[in-house]
Structure 1
Amino acid sequence: MDWRAFAQQMATMARDLLAQESVSATLDRITASAIGIVQGCDAAGILVLRGAQVQTLAPTDQLVVDSDQLQQRLREGPCFDAARSSEGERVFRIADFTDHRMRWPAYVPEARKLGLGSMMGFLLFTEDEDLGALNLYSRTRGAFSDASETAGWLLASHAAVAFSSARAHAQLQQAVATRHVIGEAMGILMGTHHLTEEEAFDVLRRYSQQHNVKLREVARRICEQGSLT
Structure 2
Amino acid sequence: MVKQLEGMVAAVTGAASGIGLASTRAMVAQGARVVLVDRDQKALDAVCAELGNVAIPLVIDLLDPASCATLMPSIEKLTGQLDIFHANAGTYIGGDLIEADTAVIDRMLNLNVNAVMKNVHDVLPHMIARGSGDIIVTSSVAGHYPVPWEPVYSASKWAMTCFVQTVRRQVNKQGIRVGSVSPGPVISALLADWPEENLQKAKESGSLIEPSEVADAIIFMLTRPRNVTIRDVVVLPTNFDI
Check whether TM > 0.5: no
- Return the index of the structure with the highest Cα Rg: 1
Q: TM-score of the superposition, structure 1-length normalised?
A: 0.27
Structure with the larger RCO, 1 or 2 (CA within 8 Å, 6+ apart): 2
Between Structure 1 and Structure 2, the one with more helix by share is 1
Q: TM-score of the superposition, structure 2-length normalised?
A: 0.26
